[in-house]
Amino acid sequence: MKIVDCDYFVVGSGMAGLMTALHLSDKGKVVLVTKGRLQDCNTNFAQGGICCVADPSDTFDKHARDTMIAGAWLGNSAVVHEICEHAPEGIQDLVKCGVKFAKKKDGSWELTREGGHSARRIFHAGDITGEKCEASMIRSIRRSSVDVREQTIVIDLVMTKRIGIKGPNRCIGAYVLDKATGEICAIRSPDTVLATGGCGKVYLYTCNPDTATGDGIALAWRAGAKIENMEFIQFHPTCLYHPQAKRFLISEAVRGEGAVLVNKHGREFMKKYDPRGSLAPRDIVARSIDSEMKRTGDDCMYLDIRKKGRAYLMTRFPNIYQKCMEFGIDMAKDLIPIVPAAHYTCGGIQATTAGETSVPGLSAVGECACTGLHGANRLASNSLMEALVCARLTAVRLAGERGTGNGERGKMPDIPAWRIGNAVPPDEAVLVSHMWDEIRRLMWDYVGIVRTNKRLARAAHRIKTLRKEIRDYYFRYLVTPDTLELRNLAVCAELIVKSAQRRRESRGLHFTLDYPRQSKRPRQTVIEGYRG
């Protein structure tokens, strides 16, 4: 089996992964793998923008307070302040990569506002901010010394305990599968950084790309890492409702610029749920839309921004305007049909702002990590900010450990060849697709926007059975990308359900009819990593 050695091994090609790799590129040999193309990530689909205090009338304290309020006071205040205060450095990192954020005629930043924010502090590049950031970072990574390997999926992390090495258990790399050739090799490194994004595909309806199968979270859990607050899955309230509109979001910025939520008769309804109306945080807006749909029996609700006029809409939201027109919806004269959809994983691998996890040699950055920033609900556009800041802090920590000799360097232990045993090529791919569909549907039906003890118990029972079936299938047949994703998806589903069952209150994104009130004492939900 081929073994590739490097100083830093980064998994994932969104903003967190690319920026971590770029920061480390002059500190040693960096290998970056991604299971699709570099651009196949959530960052590429981000529309709204990136939070950063820049207006003289705004402050870091105001941003931090908005973040804590949106997170139902479950966030870590020190972490929130640290990340908000480091955001300007992250914006400059992107500017150095060539990102051109919108500016006013006088040369100052054209900041926008989104739900839950008390001020305009969103840097944007039109309504395709993520796409422009991703393209600029990809150009930078292509020019760097980073060894980029696309179409390469991680099978499992290599832990010293599992390969029979005595002493403290630590991560020394991973087994990976080249999707093009079917070859399995090992990437050996004293530092592995997971930047794999969230697990939106665990739900039947999601605006996430097909890559969002929770791989990093599942890999870390199997390696023994602590997982935190997985019950908090954010549902974006405004996903375009149209049979041909697969996972297309109507950005939060549309509401920030004046759109209001209405029913099919054009009547606004959000004020009866929250005094902030259509600018309430996402968890409140998503639950309100869900409630209205159930109350009326309608398939969707609507956004109304007709008052802004065609010229403004075509200039400020060119991509959204064009996409809506493709489906016969003219934002300037029509209501925009919307529904909530799974969007963001607020929990994940327990990690510091510098990426440190409970497993030596393993770091986590971005959506797959739980740093304490988001609490029970993510404030709009804080995700890319967190990715930028934590990528920089993680790189500084890792490079510093190497410089002071604190890192576990020197000769790396041998990694045994991947064993296939009696595994044979899979002959019934329909089993994988069936289990995939079953998990996503039961998660949507039983562990969605509104939960109950009974629904969670049903989900837990069925997922336990499915995980056993998936384990049997995994060991019986040769590994394939679909099998690996299904295996990871099932782990994330079980972690979400277990976390939801442990939280006996309603807070932020976790709303249960059995415990509708919020507890006086905020607490985190922590699940220990697998010890087998």
Q: Which residues are part of the catalytic machinery?
A: 282
Q: CA 154 to CA 187: how far, in whole Å?
A: 10
What is the dihedral sign for C-alpha 48, 53, 54, 57? positive
What DSSP state is assigned to residue 364?
Answer: E
H or E segment to which residue 221 belongs: helix 215-222
Structural Rg of the chain based on CA atoms: 22
Q: List b or e across 41-74, with b for residues whose CB sees 16 or more CB atoms inside 10 angstroms.
A: bbbbbbbbbbbbbbeeebebebbbbbbbbbbbeb
Nearest in space to 367 (alpha carbons), one of 387, 393, 382, 381: 387
Residue count of the chain: 532
Cα–Cα distances in angstroms (integers) from residue 187 to residues 152, 359, 517, 520, in the given order: 11, 18, 48, 47
Helices (H) and strands (E) in the chain, counts: 13, 19
Sequence-ordered list of residues with C-beta below 8 angstroms from that of 338, at least 6 positions apart, any chain: 237, 238, 239, 240, 241, 250, 261, 289, 300, 301, 302, 303
Structure tokens at 14: 């969104």
Q: CA 332 to CA 1: how far, in whole Å?
A: 59
Q: CA 103 to CA 518: how far, in whole Å?
A: 42
Residue type, 99: V
Give the SS3 label for residue 155.
strand
Which runs of consecutive H residues, i.e. helices, occur in 369-517? Answer: 382-404, 429-446, 453-476, 481-502
Q: CA 225 to CA 205: how far, in whole Å?
A: 28
Give the number of other CB atoms < 10 A from CB of residue 473. 17
DSSP letters along 398-433, please? HHHHHHHT-S--SSPPP-PPPP-TT-B--S-HHHHH
What is the dihedral sign for C-alpha 39, 40, 45, 46? negative
Q: List b or e across 376-413, with b for residues whose CB sees 16 or more CB atoms inside 10 angstroms.
A: bbbbbbbbbbbbbbbbbbbbebbbebbeeeebbeeeee
Residue with tokens 């969230």: 198
β-strand 184-188 against 3-5: which pairing, if any? Answer: parallel
